[in-house]
Amino acid sequence: MSASLVLLPPLLLLPLLLHGATRTAALRLASWAPLPALMLALLAPADAVGEWSGVLLGSVFGLDATGRLFLTFTALVWLLAGLYARVWLRLDARAWRFWAFYLATQAGNLGVCLALDALSFYLWFALMTFAAYGLVVYERTPESLRAGRIYLIMAMLGEALLVAGLLLAVHAAGDERFDAIAGTAQGPVTLALLIAGLGVKVGVPLLHMWLPLAHPVAPVPASAVLSGVMLKAGLLGWLRLLPLGNQAAPEAGALLMAAGLLAMLLGVGAGLMQRNAKVLLAYSSISQMGYMTLGVGAGLLAPAAWPLLLSAVSLYALHHALAKSALFLGVGLIHRQGGSPAALAGLTLPALALAGAPLTSGMPAKQALKLALAPLPAPWPELLALLLPLAAFGTALLMLRLVWLQAGREGQGGGDGLAPPWALSLLAVAGVVWMVAPALPQATAVAAWAASWPVLLALVTGYAATRARRALPLLLPGDLIVPLEAAVSRLSTLFITPRADRPQPIAWPLVGRWARAEALARRWPLAGSLWLALLLALLLALRM
């Protein structure tokens, strides 16, 4: 099977959804669109490489070991979330709109996993990013529109930084292919642009503010793919474009490791101060992506350790994708059916996996990362020996709070049929990681205790907190964005809004015209055409 052909199902179904005569048939097939990609990831030979020489100035697709693993869990999560979405949206008359954005986002996400050159990577990455806006604002509530606005602002910032970094990287390498780019020494400006541009998607601190706003307001199946696999697209971009294993960049590596540690701890702290389960899971994703950010930073710091780090980071990405998507789907099921003992038991499995409990997928993922980080130069081993157990305890405490928030919750109805796709996701959490996890040399008893004590301590702490009957303070979702929005609002009041007690600013009519022009530009036909023209211009610039 040609690697590029698996992108056709979501792309071909998309126009069928937009036509009334073919919409019913397209809706029946939409949930199965990622199945060919999953089959490709599982069955394709190692040399599955294809080129579209006449499309978009040339595109190269293929499957190396890293791309195959990312394509496997990406296609699997999209498939499970799609089967779940069929039930979740079956009574929604606007469901075809959801599926249109869902398929476009899916095509971009799958294309990112298959791309082997900067041109095609950016095309599919941008398609995934901007199509996901439709998923964020699908409910059309004030909260979702606000989240969508902030998501677009952060997305455009990330795209601008990424394009600038790609232009510099391609120019330095003299080639658009990933192997040439990653094998070429990159200057500090290029590294900073690539790290920051892709870091918006990963959710590194200070670039994370869109995430706890966008993920909770999207429909549950969209939240599962947004948090489960779309964040990993930024991680995959780092793995493809940064000179990992080829160039030592100690300053960039140290900063990225520090950002990873900060994300791990602050994500837990902010998540504990939430009362909405989906917001809590969004902050948990920031924390968990910190582990992978830590591994990438270590690769820049110590290139000799990269082969082991690559395996560990990829395994952690697989583990997190399956566990986090299962958690979102489980929270959705409990929202519809209620927090029954069976539902809570099912939710506990991916929660324990995320906490790294023994016999769960989190245990080999976290231990592989710890072993890969062990050869780092001082003072990192000592610092990690202190902070990694603290982060593990925090994650266990966060997962305990998630289950506690869902216990005894009353269902809103309409949840019949959600259990089978969720059960499949739980099976994936229980078994898939163990199929690819390497054998760990650490003694079984020591490993079991290292994985057990954070969970046990979290149980004791949680019990003590319930006995104390003291509620945690509430942190508004988006954290840093809240004072920023207040500052912008204040400035607009001072300098733009006209007042009756002072003359109207000369520029005020121009501001009104600008607002009307902006409203026109935000309409989908015009906005889509403008973005398409911009993408083609950027692709041409990359090629030149």
Specify the amino acid at residue 83: L
Residue 508: the pLDDT is 46
Residue 54: the pLDDT is 46
Q: What pLDDT digit, counting tens, does each position of 150-169 carry?
A: 999 999 999 999 999 999 99
Q: DSSP secondary structure string, 430-468?
A: HHHHHHHPPPP-S-HHHHHHHHHHHHHHHHHHHHHHHHH
Query: Does 512 have pLDDT greater than 80?
Result: no
* Phi, psi angles (nearest 5°) of residue 358: -60, 145
Q: Are 133 and 72 in contact (CB under 8 A)?
A: no
Which residue ranges make up each domain of the chain? 3-332, 496-543
Instruction: Collapse the DSSP code of 115 into the 3-class scheme (helix H, G, I; strand E, B; otherwise coil) and give the result.
Output: strand
Query: Does 6 have pLDDT greater than 60?
Result: yes
Residues 6+ apart with CB under 8 A from 332: 84, 88, 220, 221, 223, 418
What percent of the chain is modeled with pLDDT above 70?
86
Q: Which of 37-41, 101-105, 195-199, 414-418 has the lowest average pLDDT?
A: 414-418
pLDDT band, residue 415 (cuts 50/70/90): confident
Cα(506)–Cα(311) distance, rounded to whole angstroms? 61
Distance spanning both ends of the chain, measured CA to CA: 31
pLDDT band, residue 19 (cuts 50/70/90): confident
CA-nearest of 417, 422, 326 to 91 is 417
Residue 474's CB is within 10 A of a number of other CB atoms, namely 10
Kindly report the three-state secondary structure assignment for every residue of 491-534: HHHHHCCCCCCCCCCCCHHHHHHHHHHHHHHCCHHHHHHHHHHH
Kindly report the three-state secondary structure assignment for every residue of 330-399: HHHHHHHHCCCHHHHHHHHHHHHHHHCCCCCCHHHHHHHHHHHHCCCCCCHHHHHHHHHHHHHHHHHHHH
Q: Name the average pLDDT for the chain.
A: 87
Residue 62: the pLDDT is 83
Average pLDDT of 199-205? Answer: 93
Give the CA radius of gyration of the chain: 23
pLDDT band, residue 507 (cuts 50/70/90): very low
Residues 6+ apart with CB under 8 A from 439: none
Q: What pLDDT digit, counting tens, does each position of 331-384 carry?
A: 999 999 998 999 999 999 999 999 999 989 999 999 999 999 999 998 999 999
Task: State the Cα torsion 147-204-543-539 to the nearest 10°.
Answer: 0
Q: Which residue has the higher pLDDT, 368 or 499?
A: 368
Query: Does 111 have pLDDT greater than 90?
Result: yes
Q: Which of 211-220, 271-280, 506-515, 529-538 has the lowest average pLDDT?
A: 506-515
Cα(469)–Cα(471) distance, rounded to whole angstroms? 6
